[in-house]
Chains A and B, each alone.
Chain A
Amino acid sequence: MAVRQEEFVLNMGPQHPSTHGVFRIVLTLDGETVVKADPVPGYLHRGIEKLAEARTYTQVIPYTDRLDYLASMLMNWGYVQAVEKLMGIEVPLRAEYIRVIVGELARIASHLVATGAMASDLGGLTGFLYTFRDREEILDLFEMVCGSRLTASYMRIGGVAKDLPEGFVPKAKEFLKKFTLSLAEYNGLITGNEIFQRRTKNVGILSAEKAVDMSLSGPVLRASGVGHDLRKVRPYSIYPQFEFEVPLRTNGDCFDRYYLRVLEMAESVKIIEQALASLPEGPVMAKIPRIIKPPAGEVYTEIESSKGIMGVYIVSDGSPKPYRVHFRRPSFINLGYLAEMVRGWKVADVVAILGSLDIVLGEVDC
């Protein structure tokens, strides 16, 4: 009897633990091999850009928390920096230091989710528990500075909402000391795990040319050997004052994308340590008008978020509300290449590849 063979369609998501949120991908399979993939985002679309048009400039800040909610500090930062550039506001030095400290803590928190989630996606749930144990401490620190663990809304146009509370600096230093040991622990538990390596090495290889062509950014781009980190190549805030490396990997496979984040966390620790050691005294808010009315015009600025380049485009008509706000979300653009990346790989590899891209659906769908 002849065996009948045909392709079949497998719907993954929108409710699936490995899609890291409400995201759907329609896979056309030949046996276990992906022939075609059609990612379907949009399940978390709230129309934040439209909502922003009916809010004042300051009222937009809480909406940015809900983009990449795993690194809300960085989302705040990207937005307030754009408004500050449009208005020509100079941020006080102490506020810049605080932004760097909380921003890099947010980067570590976000990378911890990526690292732990990738381990659990590939069957190692223990890794997830270890990274979340340490992420809790960062959230505790955030709770200290702004009362909120996830949706910080801590930054303001012209600085930060309030100064660091008493006891923050020693607690942060204590965390960093412990965290360096935790990194070694992750390397023992996840990075060095043979099963993990065999599931990720030489899987989902992304070339440097393709990564640049597809506007990919962040760890996804740098794991393919492209040294484009805005903290170095187009420095903003006070990043030139700190000594740190931009880790690069060259294979562009799932393992490199995973491991690059571990290396980046170690660099973030260095930055925070330097910032805590040289934290200057002074005000944390610039003198800004009570009603924020940027002059008519438009601006586009970018920061290096944990997921990649986070850009903010603002058009002002001179009124207290933005005429148009657009967020360039790195997760959204990085996800745009997923269909090509998973083609030809097995179903199980789809989970590894998606995990290595580290998307957050709040940011993808906006």
Chain B
Amino acid sequence: MDDISNVSKITEPVQKRILAKIAAAHPEINVSEAGHLHVPVDSLTAVMRDLKENFGFDYLSNVTAVDYLEYMNVVYDLCRVGTPYMLHIIVRIDRENPVVPSMVPLWGGALWQEREIYDLLGVIFTKHPDLRRILLDDTWEDHPLRRDYQWMSGRD
């Protein structure tokens, strides 16, 4: 266990410095106590491009979304290949009009992940080259990972 805490002793201050630098460069970003970056949807593409091109976050590890009934969050996890540093980016969008710019032009890895979120949560990614359902049948109606989705259970 000592080794792990030694590793985090080195990485944590660096992670904090990275977050402080990003916050200084982008006053519109709100950095939470847990170190999550809350980015307004209007500046998402510009911020993400900057993170990739100037901050070296070249790897889009994860994209997902959460339905909070009043609004939705789209969540991105970026990392620098070969390093431990990660960013957790949260974008709040309107649930009735869930539109967010696609990250495919920046990271090809968003291609299927955004299709999956579109399929299961109904988030529309603008400028996605191939936005169609991926897991469910093409004729499926509605988006089952939304919290108000009515489903039949064999249990409970």
List residues of chain A with CB under 8 Å of any chain B CB.
41-42, 45, 47, 49-50, 53-54, 93, 96, 210, 212-216, 226-228, 233-238, 240-241, 297-298, 300, 302, 309, 311, 313, 315, 323-324, 326, 328, 332-333, 335-337, 365-366
Contacts and interface: CB of A to CB of B under 8 A. Distances in A.
Given A41-B135, A212-B58, A240-B6, 10 more contacts: A42-B135, A45-B136, A50-B149, A215-B59, A215-B109, A233-B83, A233-B84, A300-B75, A300-B88, A313-B75
Given A214-B108, A238-B3, A366-B135, A228 B156 contact: no
B24 interface: no
Contacts of B86: 234, 300
Given A215-B61, A233-B84, A300 B111 contact: no
B113 to A, nearest CB: 7
B62 A214 contact: no
Nearest to A317: B68
Given A227-B82, A235-B4, A240-B4, A212 B59 contact: yes
A215 B7 contact: no
B83 A302 contact: no
Query: Which residue, of B79, B83, B109, B153, has the highest number of chain A Cβ atoms within 10 A?
Result: B109
Given A42-B134, A212-B81, A240-B4, A47 B64 contact: no
Contact of B1 (A93, A213, A333): A93
Contact of A41 (B62, B134, B147, B153): B134
A45 B75 contact: no
Contact of A238 (B1, B62, B83, B111): B1
Contacts of B75: 298, 300, 313
A336 B79 CA distance: 19
Given A212-B58, A309-B61, A313-B62, A336 B112 contact: yes
A67 B135 CA distance: 14
A228 B82 contact: yes
A49 B109 CA distance: 21
A337 B108 CA distance: 9
A62 to B, nearest CB: 13
Contacts, number: 111
Contacts of B136: 42, 45
Nearest to B67: A324
B99 interface: no
Interface in B92-143: 107-113, 116, 120, 133-137
A337 B113 CA distance: 12
A326 B64 contact: yes
A158 to B, nearest CB: 15
Given A235-B7, A365-B135, A336 B58 contact: no
Query: Which residue, of A215, A326, A366, has the highest number of chain B Cβ atoms within 10 A?
Result: A215
Closest 9 A/B residue pairs (Cβ): A215-B109, A336-B112, A240-B3, A234-B84, A42-B135, A326-B64, A328-B62, A45-B135, A214-B108
A interface: dominant SS: mixed
A45 B113 CA distance: 15
B111 A54 contact: no
Nearest to B33: A297
Which range contains the number of B residues in contact with the other chain?
Answer: 35 or more
27 contacts: A41-B134, A42-B137, A50-B149, A54-B153, A210-B108, A213-B107, A213-B108, A214-B109, A228-B81, A233-B84, A234-B84, A240-B3, A240-B4, A240-B6, A297-B34, A298-B75, A302-B61, A309-B61, A311-B61, A311-B77, A313-B62, A313-B77, A323-B66, A324-B67, A328-B64, A328-B77, A336-B109
Contacts of B107: 213-215
B111 A214 contact: yes
Query: Which residue, of B3, B67, B88, B112, has the highest number of chain A Cβ atoms within 10 A?
Result: B112
Contacts of A54: 153, 155-156
A300 B77 contact: yes
Interface string B44-68: 0000000000000011111010110
A42 B115 CA distance: 12
A301 to B, nearest CB: 9
A302 B79 CA distance: 11
A238 B111 CA distance: 34
Contact of B64 (A42, A213, A228, A313): A313
A319 B77 CA distance: 25
Contacts of B112: 332-333, 335-336
Nearest to A326: B64
Contacts of A226: 81-82
B19 interface: no
Given A215-B61, A238-B3, A324 B81 contact: no
B144 interface: yes
